[in-house]
Structure 1
Amino acid sequence: MGFEQRIAVVTGGGQGIGAATALDFLEQGARVAVLDLDCTPLFQQLAGNPDAAARCLCIAGDCTDATVVASFFDCVEKDMGAVDILFNNVGQSARERGSLFTESDEAVWRFVIEVSLLTAMRASRRIAPGMKARGFGRIVNMSTDAAFAGDVGLADYAAAKMGVVGFTRSLARELAPHGVTVNAVCPGAIRTRAHDRLHPEVLRKIVADTPAGFIGTPEDVAATVRFLASDEARFITGQTLLIDGGRWML
């Protein structure tokens, strides 16, 4: 999988799955641009690798702010060139503001939909026309297995992330004749900083509900994104790949 001539963008790439994917692309020789509120964790991981650091552009900014996103892509195209790979990774559930839907607040739904669906649409709208014109591109969108399992307390997140699946399929059909693939990845239980805040009993239940018997790592997702972004995946588009140890099977 040759990435030496590729330019990749990872939204929300400062930590967790995004950072693992950015580091994976850098290890493969790509140039990588990251937009995130906090890029510190990624900077720390790059500290001992000056070659990779020199190929990485990290910009701190809010992925839900259209003006910030436009400025970010302006910088990427000016400093690096046309984007070959877009990983729409940024997104989150309501977290501490989460609740049963019957007790929920519309302002929270709107935040979750903005950060988990509209960010992917906005970034894709900026990048897809250039990919189409050049006859090559890889877009990978972040969804979640919660969209399929319909976990209680995650109605807004499940709705947003199932929206990502529908968006992925429609855009894939539109861009397929132009050499651009669009796919979605749906992680399940992945060991990130968010998991560190979970009660041990909750973690035990997650493991018990996962046929593989363990929680995945950000690198498990990064490897999948790398494959979908590669030349070898040229005949795969419009697909939704669950990375969840078998919790939900399509």
Structure 2
Amino acid sequence: MTAITQRFLGKTVAITGAAHGIGAATARRFLAEGASVAVIDREADDFAEALGAFPPQRQFSLVGDCTDAAVLAEFHARTIAAFGPVDILFNNVGQSGRERATQFHESEEEVWRFVLEISLFTTMRMSRLVAPAMRERGSGRIINMSSDAALVGDAGLADYAAAKMGIIGFTRSLARELAPHRVTVNAVAPGAIRTRAHDRLTPEVIERIKATTPAGFIAEPEDVAGCVAFLASEDARYVTGQTLLIDGGRWMI
């Protein structure tokens, strides 16, 4: 990790899906750099372990289902009550069909709807909650979680690729709307990152992923967290509507 500064001192950060993996690593990064951080996830037990090293007065956590619009609205309202308006939103939550993922001709609409709901709709809903105040204040950062699957188009992940490409389109459109108000909107698109979902893969699959990644290794959640922190910082004030691939060169644009 690069030298830690206090560049987010006084900032309020909201992160969805932050009990573990990339979300937790990003929460730790913002806390380490001075921010007050609000997190939401369905898995409450992991919050203390993930964020316990940081001052509790700069943390707020809510256990809840991010696919529930009312829960997201509560999360937003309670974040504002705890720390003030959201300066930085990281729409991290999302997933594939996982064990229900399959070739498209065998897939089921129920799974498509779940994947779109948890990845794309949660991103749109949370962005809709924070955008008006950011626009009015003339400042803010929104970072959305896409995936290199959106660009690679991995077989067996048609619904996931569609959702994550939808996030890229949403990011570009919202960035255009909010740019005149000094609010930036960007996306990150990770490839192979060592998370709990990734740890369930077989050694053979892991080796195949490494072989198709020019960098030759699987990244850590902290590698993504550093990129999110950059996009949230003043160093990236002239970067908007972009998708930053974090995949060791598997896909290049």
TM-score for both structures, normalised by structure 1:
0.98
Match of 1:228 in 2: 231
Equivalent of 1:79 in 82, 86, 98:
82
2:189 equivalent to 1:186: yes
SS of structure 2 residue aligned to 1:116: helix
5+ residue gaps, structure 1, are none
Instruction: For 1:201-240, list aligned pairs within 5 A.
Output: 201-240=204-243
Contact 2:27 2:51 in 1 (8 A): no
Contact 1:13 1:39 in 2 (8 A): no
Contact 1:140 1:185 in 2 (8 A): yes
1:50–1:220: structure 2 CA closer, same or farther, 3 Å change rule? closer
Match of 1:4 in 2: 9
Structure 1 Cα separation of the partners of residues 198 and 132 of structure 2: 37
Match of 2:198 in 1: 195
How big is the shift at 1:50?
4.8
Structure 1 Cα separation of the partners of residues 155 and 98 of structure 2: 13
SS of structure 2 residue aligned to 1:42: helix
Q: Which amino acid aligns with 2:100?
A: R
Match of 2:136 in 1: 133
Equivalent of 2:28 in 1, 23, 26:
23
Instruction: For 1:146-165, list aligned pairs within 5 A.
Output: 146-165=149-168
Structure 2 Cα separation of the partners of residues 69 and 205 of structure 1: 38
**1:189-210 CA deviation, whole Å, 9 max, x = no partner?**
0000111110110000000000
Contact 1:15 1:39 in 2 (8 A): no
Contact 2:26 2:228 in 1 (8 A): yes
Q: CA RMSD in A?
A: 0.9
Match of 1:168 in 2: 171
**1:207-229 CA deviation, whole Å, 9 max, x = no partner?**
00000010011000000000000
Q: Which amino acid aligns with 1:87?
A: F
Match of 1:92 in 2: 95
SS of structure 2 residue aligned to 1:69: helix
Contact 1:188 1:244 in 2 (8 A): yes
Contact 1:8 1:31 in 2 (8 A): yes
Match of 1:114 in 2: 117
Structure 2 Cα separation of the partners of residues 76 and 46 of structure 1: 17
SS of structure 1 residue aligned to 2:117: helix
Q: Which amino acid aligns with 2:9?
A: E
Contact 1:35 1:63 in 2 (8 A): yes
How big is the shift at 1:46?
2.8
Structure 2 Cα separation of the partners of residues 172 and 104 of structure 1: 33
2:69 equivalent to 1:66: yes
How big is the shift at 1:40?
2.4
Structure 1 Cα separation of the partners of residues 59 and 189 of structure 2: 26
1:134–1:214: structure 2 CA closer, same or farther, 3 Å change rule? same
2:40 equivalent to 1:35: yes
Q: Percent identity?
A: 62
**1:117-167 CA deviation, whole Å, 9 max, x = no partner?**
000000000100100000000000000000100000000000000000000
How big is the shift at 1:79?
1.4
